[in-house]
A and B are shown apart, each in its own frame.
Chain A
Amino acid sequence: MTEKCLELKNIRKGFSNEEEVLKGISLAIEKGEFITLLGSSGCGKTTTLRIIAGLEMPDAGQVFLDGKDVTALNPEDRDVNTVFQNYALFPHMNVADNIGYGLRLKKVPRTEIRRRVKEMLELVQLPGYEKRKPSELSGGQKQRVAIARALINNPRVLLLDEPLGALDLQLRRAMQVELKRLQKKLGITFIYITHDQEEAINMSDRIAVMNHGTFEQIGTPDEIYNHPRTSYVATFVGNANILKGVAGATENGKVAVNISGGHIQADSHNETIRPGEKVTLAVRSENIRIDEECSCGLSAVVTEKTFAGGLLRVVLKLTDGTELVASRYGIDARVQQGQTVSVCFAPEDAVLVDRDAVREGGEA
């Protein structure tokens, strides 16, 4: 068993007169792991980070760092460092003084500080930038300095609050690769916050999808993307379509589902599904086929057809009013707006979601 580096137990946090921001979240992170908290703004991911850093006190629950309860400790007494969203570089100090700040507080000798600052600047690929002021740096350079300033202290855990949020797309991609490289090289545990699912999937060992102050699902990028457990995860991470229907008989690991007057089949994944039970299916848009050889067939009307960078997006409306989005590469001129088509997908592409709610609350 690998050792737990950081553990959150039942963390609760609310601000005055508002709904609780965190509703009792728990999370165990292993040493050297790159874990991403993924969620839209207001889901509580930044609050979680601030509680780990000690900048915010939880109303209830505990934070363990290397098995030690640090819940009541001040931020300066925790072996955790943060890369802030706005970089938070000290404007009155040059790059070297910014990076060496933590070491100066620890009374490390000046010559050693100078050496380690130099090393750090080489690591983040900014050699020779010691004397620059933060105001003379570009966004990407500031970001690197902020990372170096945190990493030089050799923290147990590095917290990164949407560190690439302010950078343009190209720089973002380059920094993603670089951050991942740094993390592998140093073996430091990274807790990364983002609202960008692509970024999360690219970089993380594990992703924790947050929604309304709870974790919807915690798992590897593959699990999150291919086996979403809830409809929120399926739509937020995979841009999936959500279909609601009624279950029929289960045969050979496949359950028949009645949706919008049509019948389709979905993998049951060893779930026991009683006939007549309401089920929710998530199907990603690239897996939806239109008017081809189908094992199923749901009647739908094409309401919209758009091209976006080589990708054809077709919006369909089922007879019960549910909207579906199908997407594929290349131009498909066969379907026309207003046309009635048959929609289908393979059973293995239909993922049963929101089963926990069914199990807990009976037939919802």
Chain B
Amino acid sequence: MKGTKAKKKTTSVWMILPLYFFTLVFVAGPLIYMVALSFAQPGSGTSVEWNLTLENYRKILDPVYLQTFRESFQLALTSTVIICLVGYPFGYFMAKMSDTWKKRAMLLLMLPFWINSLIRLYGWIIILQNKGVLNYILKGLGIIDKPLKILYSYPAIVVGMVYVLLPFMILSVYSSAEKLDWSLVEAARDLGAGKIKAFWTVSFKLTLPGLLSGVILTFIPSMGLFFIADILGGNKIVLVGSLIQEQMTRGNNWPFAAALAVVLMILTSLMIGLYRKITNVKELEGIG
């Protein structure tokens, strides 16, 4: 008996071994390589010279690059706040809809995923450009005289970020609002809470995990999404994502790109940690 049990155990270990192997090779491996690369020196062309150096990190402290980080952070924050303000109510009320409307809303939400996001972003160029749809409508309504120069500007990038990342927030909020027991809201009303108070003390508190994971799902990509800034920002605004991409392609400086990526990764991890801590403390406080 004992023998077969032990044998069974070893077989199951063999069974999951490929999984470990896969994770090691394709997830941990590139990460380790990237960190190692960030301490190397660029050679000629795309080649790398393996002389241990902190030069790449020192270079990041250059005001030009610090500015890039600051701008990226600002943009990510702005986009995430807008995404929260639009996505939370959307996801919350979607969970309250009847089943048929839920299905329709879900279809609307999933439809854009069937088309490549690059192509969809080119659609925004048509809308936002000087002689585009938006300016045409605003002019037609007599709201503006001269066309707004939105395309290739900061607002255009924000629009693009919100557009691309909004579905993730909506789905995240929706999935936690869907699980919400509405009788808890009724209980709150019954105990004397008005609609708004019942929302803040019960519904919002219980859907907060959805909002939280939505923030993580949108904030992190918005720090690194370079193609949105490229297409809608017209290379006028350089973000960390585009900087890394540029260093790897045109700049031929993989070690510096790797160092930028490592710093970006550490910064986002720190922010997530901080964010988690703040929201946890709030949760413990209860209401009032």
Is the A/B pair a real complex? yes
B205 touches which of A54, A75, A92, A104 (Cβ 8 Å): A92
Q: Does A82 have its Cβ within 8 Å of any Cβ on chain B? A: yes
Closest to A94 in B: B286
Which of A83-91, A243-251, A322-330 lies at the interface? A83-91
Contact bitstring B262-288, A, C-beta under 8 A = 1, else 0: 000000000000000000000100111
Cα A93 to Cα B191 in complex, Å, equals 15
Given contacts A55-B186, A55-B189, A74-B194, could you give 11 more A-B pairs where the C-beta distance is less than 8 Å?
A74-B189, A76-B194, A76-B198, A84-B187, A88-B184, A88-B186, A89-B187, A90-B187, A92-B283, A106-B192, A153-B192
Min CB–CB distance B198 → chain A (angstroms): 8
Q: Which of A118-170 contact B (CB under 8 A)?
A: 149-150, 153
Beyond A88-B183, A105-B197, is A81–B286 a contact (Cβ under 8 Å)? no
Min CB–CB distance A353 → chain B (angstroms): 38
Chain B neighbourhood of A93, CB < 8 A: 286-287
- CB distance B283 to A102 under 8 Å? no
Name the interface size band of chain A: 20 to 34
Closest to B182 in A: A88
Q: Does A345 have its Cβ within 8 Å of any Cβ on chain B? A: no
Q: Does B190 have its Cβ within 8 Å of any Cβ on chain A? A: yes
- CB distance A153 to B191 under 8 Å? yes
Chain A neighbourhood of B191, CB < 8 A: 76, 81, 101-102, 105, 149-150, 153
Q: Does A53 have its Cβ within 8 Å of any Cβ on chain B? A: yes
Contact bitstring B175-193, A, C-beta under 8 A = 1, else 0: 0000001011011111111
- CB distance A91 to B206 under 8 Å? yes
Closest to B185 in A: A88
Cα A281 to Cα B187 in complex, Å, equals 45
Q: Does A354 have its Cβ within 8 Å of any Cβ on chain B? A: no
- CB distance A76 to B193 under 8 Å? yes
Beyond A92-B205, A92-B286, A93-B287, is A102–B192 a contact (Cβ under 8 Å)? yes
- CB distance B190 to A75 under 8 Å? yes
Interface residues, chain B, with chain A CB atoms under 8 Å away: 181, 183-184, 186-194, 197-198, 201-202, 205-206, 283, 286-288
Min CB–CB distance A175 → chain B (angstroms): 20
Beyond A55-B189, A55-B190, A74-B189, is A104–B288 a contact (Cβ under 8 Å)? yes
Interface residues, chain A, with chain B CB atoms under 8 Å away: 53-55, 74-76, 80-82, 84, 86, 88-94, 97, 101-102, 104-106, 149-150, 153
- CB distance B190 to A53 under 8 Å? yes
- CB distance B181 to A105 under 8 Å? no
Chain A neighbourhood of B193, CB < 8 A: 76, 101, 105
Closest to B186 in A: A55
Chain A neighbourhood of B192, CB < 8 A: 76, 102, 105-106, 153
Min CB–CB distance B288 → chain A (angstroms): 5
Cα A82 to Cα B188 in complex, Å, equals 10
B181 touches which of A53, A88, A102 (Cβ 8 Å): A88
Cα A54 to Cα B193 in complex, Å, equals 13
Closest to A159 in B: B190
Min CB–CB distance A153 → chain B (angstroms): 7
Cα A153 to Cα B193 in complex, Å, equals 12
Cα A86 to Cα B283 in complex, Å, equals 23
Min CB–CB distance B144 → chain A (angstroms): 44
- CB distance A82 to B190 under 8 Å? yes
Beyond A92-B205, A93-B286, is A101–B188 a contact (Cβ under 8 Å)? yes
Cα A55 to Cα B187 in complex, Å, equals 10
Cα A106 to Cα B197 in complex, Å, equals 12
B187 touches which of A80, A88, A92, A153 (Cβ 8 Å): A88
Chain B neighbourhood of A150, CB < 8 A: 190-191
Min CB–CB distance A136 → chain B (angstroms): 15
